[in-house]
Amino acid sequence: MRNTILSSVRQSLCSARFWLGAVFIALVLFLTSMDAVTEAFRAEDPLDYGFHGKFILDALDGDGLTICLPIVCALPYAASFVDDVKTNFLKLYISRTSCRGYILGKAAGCLVSGGAVIVLGLWLAYGVSAILFSPLEGPPDPDAAAPEHAMTLLRGCALIFLSGGFWSLFGMTMSALMTSRYIAYAAPFIFYYVLIILCERYFTELYVIYPKAWLAPGAEWRMGRWGPALVIAELIVLAVLCFGAAVRRRVRSL
């Protein structure tokens, strides 16, 4: 089982779609903040020390990541189960491992790749930002505290990882139920925006199911960041159980 899980995770992280997704995330953050980029390069005075980190954090507050997150996180591995079914690889795979090992391997690969593609894209954008803007920044102010933009981004990556992993698992689960690889990409996007519309227009107090609040929890979460983390973790467990049921039903029909 351990080898099955590690093999699935390695397959999901080594795919071209995973790396293209990470690059796409970085591009989105820059493209949605082109005004700030233009102003930075046109400024006659040196930029504030730590501007490169603040630039990424400001980009995260925009709608760029919100728009593409449910799509990009599903690209690396969400359609892998349907691919196994369509190519008749599932029957061969199950004969060499257990059904439980296959389910956990697919779930682990989907969870890790879905979360890691977003996090890798953020840090790729942070690295590019440091290369572009650090030479334009002024010296640090000895009387001011050093900016902790990198640590702020690092603390936020846990929720971003969990959120991306869940939406990837949700796509794979829905595709397993409907046996369609297109559902693997469309279902997370549709359900993501259905929740946003419901929370922003009709149930404004129901922040627990608000996807944007999972990424940047406010004061309404009494447990702080642990609140959305527990909610997403429960949804991940539910998605894995539903996916397992769909896989077992498919295996019995082989």
- Taking only the tens place, the pLDDT of each residue in 210-246 is 898 888 887 778 777 888 999 999 999 999 999 999 9
15 in helix, strand or coil?
coil
In this predicted structure, the answer to whether residue 1 has a pLDDT above a threshold of 80 is no
Q: What is the pLDDT of residue 245?
A: 93
Q: What angle do CA 204, 206, 209 make, to 5 degrees?
A: 120
Query: Read out DSSP for 92-108?
Result: HHHHHS-HHHHHHHHHH
Query: Read out DSSP for 28-53?
Result: HHHHTTHHHHHHHHH-SSPBPTTHHH
Token pair for residue 89?
Answer: 């690889």
Which residues make Cβ contacts (< 8 Å) with residue 46, sequence separation at least 6?
136, 137, 138
Beta bridge partners, 47, equal 137
The dihedral over CA atoms of 89, 176, 25, 126, expressed in degrees to the nearest 10, equals -80
Q: What is the pLDDT of residue 154?
A: 87
In this predicted structure, the answer to whether residue 142 has a pLDDT above a threshold of 80 is no
Query: pLDDT tens for residues 224-233?
Result: 788 899 999 9
Token pair for residue 203?
Answer: 């149930």
Q: pTM higher than 0.75 for the full model?
A: yes
- Amino acid identity, position 32: T
As to burial, measured by CB atoms within 10 angstroms (0-12 exposed, 13-18 middle, 19+ buried), residue 128 is: middle
